[in-house]
Amino acid sequence: MSQETLAHLSRADAVLGGLIRAVGPCKLAAPEDCHPFQVLAQAIAHQQLNGTAANTILKRLVDSCGRGTFPTPHQVLEAPVESLRAAGFSFAKVAALKDLAAKTLAAVVPDGAALMQLSDEQIIARLTQVRGIGRWTVEMLLMFQLGRPDVLPVDDFGVRAGFRAAYGLGRMPHPRALAAWGERWKPFRTTAAWYLWRALELKRAGTLPSPAERIRLPRVKRLRRAARRGAAGPERGKPRRRAAVRARKLPARRASPAGARTPRSAPRGRLRKAAKTG
């Protein structure tokens, strides 16, 4: 990592600069050769599993479906569901693998060379069309396989928790607030994210420096309650309509004589009977 990058981040953000000095040089690994189908298939296997279990499942996939090498999209499409289930994939992951294979053959998921020609947002838009692949997964691909320098995964728990620790916040930052704050780190937000991950390691070791200054995150506009409910809005009118229908069905009550009071404790059925008999 160039000294120019670290100097830019330190000038833009005093707290991040202190974290950089405490951690030392950035050891972000050099980008690897990117084979999108294989990378995304591995990501699907790792979802909600620890690394050892996921690697075991992938080895079974290689042995049974790929005959010793990582299977091609054609091989995954042709593989019986029972075979993939036997390797350890859930029904949801089997569906995701099949969809990934189909979209790779349809060129929705491009090969590595074509992927390199696309912008970050174009890659996210293309790859998140695959079932089971979300923005976070694609952001990890951008950072570690493609080596894109300006990616900030604001939904990543480690990045948010690292920011909270490094900046001495009382609560986790909202992703949109973190994104707004991270604008000052452009065009090196990938490096900033790497240092935020390291902040958690320093905190566990008891060596995390105190923030150089107190900050206030940008205010995030909260969605109005009615907007959050969305489709629930029209449902709110139903009780009133039902009440109106019930009112039309009830017999009209006669006015009580002047000065007379209807006892509140009288049962409703007795009141109706009195109304009918006049």
- Using DSSP's 3-state secondary structure scheme, residue 13 falls into coil
pLDDT tens-digit series, residues 196-250: 999 999 999 999 999 988 888 988 776 555 444 444 443 444 444 444 444 444 4
CB burial string 242-261: b at 16+ within 10 A, e below:
eeeeeeeeeeeeeeeeeeee
pLDDT tens-digit series, residues 124-149: 999 999 999 999 999 999 999 999 99
Residue 266: predicted pLDDT = 43
pLDDT surpasses 60 at 152: yes
pLDDT tens-digit series, residues 13-23: 999 999 999 99
Which candidate in 63, 120, 150, 156 is catalytic? 156
pTM for this model (two decimals): 0.76
Burial of residue 199 (CB within 10 Å: 0-12, 13-18, 19+) is: buried
Which range (92-96, 221-225, 265-269) has the least confidence?
265-269
pLDDT surpasses 50 at 263: no
The percent of residues in the chain predicted with pLDDT above 90, rounded, is 70
Confidence band, pLDDT 50/70/90 cuts, at residue 253: very low
* Rounded Cα gap, residues 120 and 135, in angstroms: 11
pLDDT tens-digit series, residues 170-201: 999 999 999 999 999 999 999 999 999 999 99
Query: Residue 169: which of 139, 193, 204, 199 has the closest Cα?
Result: 199
Which tokens sit at 207? 């060596």
Residue 1: predicted pLDDT = 61
* Rounded Cα gap, residues 144 and 154, in angstroms: 16
pLDDT surpasses 60 at 59: yes
Domains and CATH numbers, the chain: 3-29+150-205 (1.10.1670.40), 36-144 (1.10.340.30)
Residue 271: predicted pLDDT = 37
> What are the Cα distances from residue 211, in Å, to 153, 199, 201, 208?
22, 11, 16, 9
Q: Are the CB atoms for 278 and 254 separated by under 8 Å?
A: yes
- Known catalytic residue: 156? yes
pLDDT surpasses 90 at 272: no
CB burial string 84-105: b at 16+ within 10 A, e below:
beebbbeeebbbbbbbbbbbbe
Give the distance, in angstroms, between the CA of residue 159 and the centroid of all CA atoms in the same chain: 13
pLDDT surpasses 80 at 252: no
Residue 31: predicted pLDDT = 81
Average pLDDT, the chain: 84
Higher per-residue confidence, 86 vs 223: 86
The Cα angle at residue 151 between residues 147 and 154, in degrees rounded to 5: 140
130 CB-near residues (< 8 Å, 6+ apart) = 40, 96, 99, 100, 103, 108, 109
The predicted model gives 104-109 an average pLDDT of 96
The predicted model gives 43-51 an average pLDDT of 92
